[in-house]
Chain A
């Protein structure tokens, strides 16, 4: 296409939006609804996902050793654990540290109660490794592997929590794929319906263009540009609204469920929008394009 033809087509696309304000408005409104829904679901899914991941990271395995192992032997066990694939991090907790931790948890209010134990650490045998996994679903396997290492007395893991988290994670993924796919189909359908009405009004105009020798691509281009512009506007508006609402909604949730505040780890708004904004914009433009393309096809057969 020549440059002058391109600019002409671009101009016509923009003009068409204002010529047919009602249809443009209807299309944009449909798009706004869809993208708003998409954005809301996306924000929810990413946040829940984030919470699950945070929780996952705190699910560790505790490894205790046989009595009387030397420091060297313990270190060797650590190296063997480290060598397992799914292990992301390993951290040694000495008996002293274990006791300190216990104290701070159970005698927090009255330090002096613990003084009687000071001479004789009741957790003398509780030196351990805290093992973090890169993939929580591997927990059972890793637990077994560690249990087989010579010198390991006991391996503690919370298999139930690990299973639940893994389940929630994949459920979330399937659900969000399903919902987003459905939304995409519904919005293409709605948009093409709305655009169809606008195109039908112009079917006579299209017929004239075709009888004068216009190529399909030339007739179609302004409609596609119109669709993509409407799609972009239909994405930007709900994005702006979501951006403004995001912090407010989180504040309300945190206020209401303040008990759960250390479980409810929300993502900062910018981090959500770094992926949500381009995704929505691409989706809006794609849906506008596809909607226009589908609805104009019938009218080109002159």
Chain B
């Protein structure tokens, strides 16, 4: 489903944010990416979304080589990927309902369907009563849950979530992880989660990819947060 070969990314010459990444993630897998701040996790996600181009190397997602996707075809490619951004990136001018509905507007879902599915997604993340609030009227954790609902509403083939529980208390974090696991199990969605939450990683027993200085230094099935190499 996701294949990276010798991928490097330098924002400025001589300072690679990500280097020599070789990675294969199968369809329906659930993967954690861990590592200290600044090791290139978000950069890796931006590469997967084709938000930025790799300096060298090849990325293939769902059979498509990213560098060969035409600008006109980019929307169709991105529709298949649900994203939870590290900084949420909610639309400030839209309320919670519209923020989530937006993901469906973009793919031109009929309004009737939107009216049915958005409330469902909202109650799924426990925000049914906040649908009229604007992002700046929400707590960090609430914004995060809106972002998760938005990423999931189109039932994407792939979900990439950059620290989706960074602002949540242990109980809420666990609930969200359960939700992701359910989506993974029921829809076969391939899920990649960046997290600093040791407890969750240890408890979930999933594949764990450990990054350091832009490189993958460890990749273990059913791993824990820290794994001596």
What is A's interface to B at a CB cutoff of 8 Å?
Answer: 1-2, 4-5, 8, 19, 204-205, 208-216, 218, 302
Contact = CB atoms under 8 A, between A and B. Distances in A.
A43 B30 CA distance: 71
B93 A19 contact: yes
A1 B108 CA distance: 8
Contact of B107 (A1, A8, A213): A213
Contacts of B75: 210, 213-216
Given A210-B78, A213-B79, 20 more contacts: A4-B110, A4-B111, A5-B105, A8-B111, A205-B92, A209-B106, A210-B75, A211-B78, A211-B89, A212-B78, A212-B83, A212-B102, A212-B103, A212-B106, A213-B75, A213-B76, A213-B81, A213-B106, A215-B75, A215-B106
A86 B148 CA distance: 79
Interface of B: 49, 51, 74-79, 81, 83, 89, 91-93, 102-103, 105-108, 110-111, 150
A212 B91 CA distance: 12
A164 B74 CA distance: 63
Contact of B91 (A5, A208, A210, A302): A208
Contacts of A4: 108, 110-111
Contacts of A215: 75, 106
A214 B81 CA distance: 12
Contacts of A8: 105, 111
A220 B89 CA distance: 19
13 contacts: A2-B110, A19-B93, A208-B91, A209-B102, A209-B106, A210-B74, A211-B51, A211-B78, A211-B83, A212-B83, A213-B106, A213-B107, A218-B105
A2 B108 CA distance: 7
Contacts of B108: 1-2, 4-5, 218
Given A4-B111, A302-B51, A214 B106 contact: yes
- Residue of B75, B81, B89 with most partner-chain A CB within 10 A: B75
A204 B111 CA distance: 25
Contacts of A218: 105-106, 108
A78 B166 CA distance: 100
A32 to B, nearest CB: 26
- The dominant DSSP class at the A interface is helix
Nearest to A2: B108
A8 B102 CA distance: 10
Shortest beta-carbon contacts, A-B, top 3:
A213-B78, A213-B79, A4-B111
Contacts of B107: 213
Nearest to A209: B106
B74 to A, nearest CB: 8
Nearest to B81: A213
A19 B110 CA distance: 25
A8 B91 CA distance: 16
Contacts of B51: 211, 302
A213 B154 CA distance: 11
Contact of A205 (B83, B91, B106, B150): B91
Contact of B93 (A205, A211, A302): A205
Contacts of A1: 108
Contacts of B106: 209, 212-215, 218
Nearest to A7: B111
Nearest to A208: B89
Contacts of A214: 75, 106
A299 to B, nearest CB: 14
Nearest to A1: B108
A293 B91 CA distance: 22
Contacts of B111: 4, 8
A5 B114 CA distance: 12
Contact of B49 (A204, A205, A211, A216): A211
A23 to B, nearest CB: 13
A173 B32 CA distance: 73
Nearest to B93: A19
Nearest to B113: A4
Contacts of B74: 210, 213
Contacts of A208: 89, 91
